[in-house]
Chain A
């Protein structure tokens, strides 16, 4: 079974959804992500859904759940690159995803994550987060 790769960038985890999110994939992503947040003590999670053009209520709820779980594990979640059609669908479904930070693209999303982490953990301000040697986890 294929899985959605989770990349580690310093204190942050980067998830790029490149395939159609079906329900089982979403559940396995949830499992993997929570596990990795704990393992690497991640401060932030960035989910790039710019290639996702179809969502249903389940996937919408999964995004909300992932954000809530990350928050419990003390990691900020930023969802970036949502397509207009996806945004309209989620709003029509009544899923406004409260508590999720959003950004237009990965770059802005990383800026938000850095700013948030710096504010919450002032001791990290001195050094920039550095990516692991391989990047892939």
Chain B
């Protein structure tokens, strides 16, 4: 009796409108007064345990009927569904007395981990969040059908539906969140890879490095660029580095400051930097912003910068004239 009244209060506190009727029904129901067992975890656990294969089959056919373009094989789906059923039953048995929607407890740890795993694998296979969440939500139909047949009492049914809905909803939301997290980790990894890929330092000649920058220059990117350039300067012993900013769409004061920092750091190590590839629009912006480039050598094109670099390293480019090539032949 005590448990029954507590249960009523739990629902009265936590649920929205419409539950007043339920409480009234309960209070006037003759069975309730006799201390009839309400929907507990043990009841749900028994249903899950005793009807496992029936539930599994019904669930699988349900999933197959709504599955559209999922690439998961039937065997895999069956294995995943069975494991989910077992883990759910285990979690329900372990977690206290009443069926609650709280899946953050220790009892659900195994189930949560399992859901995270299958979500991660489905995300990699390109499943959409709703497809992934439907794996959990589709379990409602067979489970409700089972409850309908096992619990004749309508009040019991309604309570069971409410509790199980909130439980499965939370599991479904958990799957959606896990899907989101998996996507985010993929995006993060791709960002890092792009950052790595976007800063190649190429050797143009003995002692001459070139750093073609493509894309916007922000702080983190400048850091990567600066580090890779300085590492390469040490590695190759180059005295001249050409920073080509043809691919940088806009230059603001911050970008200019980042560039100057890179130039200064290279100078501190004993290498000289030439900035090339300054487009007319960017030249105007630099002057309008009042950016002081100091004594940094700037050139309009990479070719000009390369010519200067070769001059500084005491190389000369000589064009072979018609007479000299004739003499060779």
Question: Which A residues are closer than 8 A to B by beta carbons?
Answer: 79-84, 86-88, 90-92, 96-97, 102-105, 108-109
* Interface range, B side: 10 to 19
Given known A96-B264, A104-B237, A105-B237, contact A88–B227 (CB-CB < 8 A): yes
Contact with A87, one of B223, B230, B238 (Cβ below 8 angstroms): B230
Q: Smallest distance from the beta carbon of A114 to chain B beta carbons, Å?
A: 16
Please report the C-alpha to C-alpha distance between residue A120 and residue B42 in the assembled complex, in whole angstroms. 96
| Interface residue SS majority, chain B | helix
Q: Which residues of A contact B231 (CB under 8 A)?
A: 84
Please report the C-alpha to C-alpha distance between residue A105 and residue B231 in the assembled complex, in whole angstroms. 14
Given known A84-B265, A91-B261, A91-B264, contact A104–B227 (CB-CB < 8 A): no
Please report the C-alpha to C-alpha distance between residue A92 and residue B265 in the assembled complex, in whole angstroms. 9
Q: Smallest distance from the beta carbon of A57 to chain B beta carbons, Å?
A: 14
The reply to whether A102 and B264 form a contact with Cβ atoms under 8 Å apart is no
Q: Which residues of A contact B265 (CB under 8 A)?
A: 84, 87-88, 90-91
Q: Is B85 an interface residue (CB 8 A)?
A: no
| Interface residue SS majority, chain A | mixed
Which 10 residue pairs of A and B lie closest in terms of their CB atoms, listed nearest first? A84-B230, A103-B270, A102-B270, A87-B265, A104-B270, A87-B268, A96-B264, A91-B265, A82-B269, A91-B261
Please report the C-alpha to C-alpha distance between residue A102 and residue B270 in the assembled complex, in whole angstroms. 4
Known contacts A91-B268, A92-B261; can you find 5 more A-B pairs with CB under 8 A?
A81-B270, A88-B226, A96-B264, A102-B270, A108-B239
- B219-242 interface bits toward A, Cβ cutoff 8 Å, 1 = contact, 0 = none: 000010011001101100111000
Q: Is B115 an interface residue (CB 8 A)?
A: no
Please report the C-alpha to C-alpha distance between residue A97 and residue B270 in the assembled complex, in whole angstroms. 12
Q: Smallest distance from the beta carbon of A129 to chain B beta carbons, Å?
A: 21
Q: Is B44 an interface residue (CB 8 A)?
A: no
Q: Is B266 an interface residue (CB 8 A)?
A: yes
The reply to whether A90 and B268 form a contact with Cβ atoms under 8 Å apart is yes
Q: Which residues of B contact A91 (CB under 8 A)?
A: 261, 264-265, 268
The reply to whether B227 and A102 form a contact with Cβ atoms under 8 Å apart is no
Please report the C-alpha to C-alpha distance between residue A86 and residue B223 in the assembled complex, in whole angstroms. 14
The reply to whether A104 and B239 form a contact with Cβ atoms under 8 Å apart is yes
Q: Which residues of A contact B266 (CB under 8 A)?
A: 87
Q: Which residues of B contact A88 (CB under 8 A)?
A: 223, 226-227, 230, 265
The reply to whether B270 and A80 form a contact with Cβ atoms under 8 Å apart is yes
Please report the C-alpha to C-alpha distance between residue A102 and residue B261 in the assembled complex, in whole angstroms. 16
- 5 pairs of residues in contact across A and B, judged by CB atoms under 8 Å: A84-B233, A86-B268, A87-B230, A90-B268, A104-B233
Q: Which residues of B contact A96 (CB under 8 A)?
A: 264, 267-268
Q: Which residues of A contact B136 (CB under 8 A)?
A: none
Please report the C-alpha to C-alpha distance between residue A125 and residue B233 in the assembled complex, in whole angstroms. 32
Q: Is B208 an interface residue (CB 8 A)?
A: no
